[in-house]
A and B are shown apart, each in its own frame.
Chain A
Amino acid sequence: MSIKKYFKYFPLFFFVAFIGLTTTANAVPIGTDAEVLTAVTVTAGADLDFGSFTTAGAGGTIDFPAGGTISVGGGDPVLLGGEVGGTTTLDTTGSGASPITVNLTATLLVSGGNNMTLVPDCLPPAPAVLGVNSCTFTGIVNAAETVQIGGTLTVGAGQAAGVYAGTIDVVAGF
């Protein structure tokens, strides 16, 4: 056989050999996923103001629940008006409609060397369930939602007159 015929058959041999070397591995797809949420931002709204009141010396408590009306919880305080409910606004953009918890931490209300204790509470938009020190609600994506802020003030026996002020830290998270 001539050289030309040899090269004529060579590609056939190579093709046959190549078929034997080619294999296909079994590849299985498996899903993976993650949900990215954006941190909730908090903006202060109206300050919580218990207004003015007097006490004959026995002391007591004043209740001003979030979203509610002010009243004397016990003791001898007499309310004189001027109260304003507190509010805070939450930007729930990117919350993925996840439950959001609002945590409150109140400092003492101070006037000179005197102080009063405040236990804060909050009322979220929905479900509108009052929570002491914290409240939870389901965020709405791309929305600015208002949370009402209130609390219970303890007036001590012989509480000195004065303008008492403090702060409530509001932290919102998933």
Chain B
Amino acid sequence: MVNKMDGKVHGSVSFCVGFLVAILVVALPAEAGRRANFTNVQDLKFGRLVPGVGGGTLTLSIGGGVTESGTVVSLGGEQVSQATVDSCLGSVTTLRLIPRDLTGPGPAIPLSGLTCVGPGGVPGVGSCVYAGTAGVDVVTIGGTITVAAEPGQLAGFYNRRYRIRGRHAPACP
């Protein structure tokens, strides 16, 4: 619209620009892939342990191996965590692990070093990436707990739920 008095174009142009920007922003891909759908197969279990007079850590590797530090003695019952993830060929899956401290009768037991690996992928601490397959992938998770010394770390059962998130990129059909 042109103002016949001074030849300048006014507000209708600004309106169009703003609306156009909004359209472009909305049209841009908001995320690089759809979310991954998980099914929990088995929980992460550190089994039975004795902290000892110094406490320490107990690490459960994704291969199922157990490593103790300090005066911690493992008494068995460990189990890596596993979950299934829907997948597709040509897509890259990224997983992110969110630890949470275990709670029980005594001081909270920190959970750290959550490590995951997907089929054919490289293990990663906190997150991992792997190329998707044509079906359902099995991911394995390990981690480390830190227990205080006796008698501070009271005997009993400690538990919590950690969280796993994932995305496929590009999106699976």
A-B contact pairs, 18 of them (CB 8 A): A1-B12, A3-B11, A5-B11, A16-B25, A17-B21, A22-B30, A23-B35, A24-B35, A26-B36, A31-B161, A33-B46, A34-B109, A34-B147, A34-B158, A35-B156, A35-B157, A36-B49, A95-B155
Comparing A6-14, A54-62, A64-72, A149-157, the segment that makes contact with chain B is A6-14
- The contact size tier of chain B is 35 or more
B155 with A34: CB separation less than 8 A: no
Known A-B contacts A16-B26, A36-B51, A36-B158; the reply to A28 vs B15 at CB < 8 A is no
User: For residue B22, which residue of chain A has the nearest CB?
Assistant: A13
B162 with A34: CB separation less than 8 A: no
A-facing residues in B13-30 (Cβ within 8 Å): 14-15, 18-19, 21-22, 25-28, 30
User: For residue A16, which residue of chain B has the nearest CB?
Assistant: B22
Q: Does A53 contact B (CB under 8 A)?
A: no
B11 with A30: CB separation less than 8 A: no
B150 with A32: CB separation less than 8 A: no
A interface footprint on B31-51 (CB within 8 Å = 1, 0 otherwise): 100011111100111111111
A interface footprint on B129-155 (CB within 8 Å = 1, 0 otherwise): 000000000000101010100110111
CA of A137 to CA of B74 in the docked complex: distance in angstroms?
20
B45 with A39: CB separation less than 8 A: no
User: For residue B153, which residue of chain A has the nearest CB?
Assistant: A36
Known: A19-B26, A30-B163, A35-B49. 10 other contacts (CB 8 A): A24-B35, A25-B166, A26-B35, A26-B36, A27-B165, A30-B81, A32-B45, A32-B143, A33-B160, A96-B155
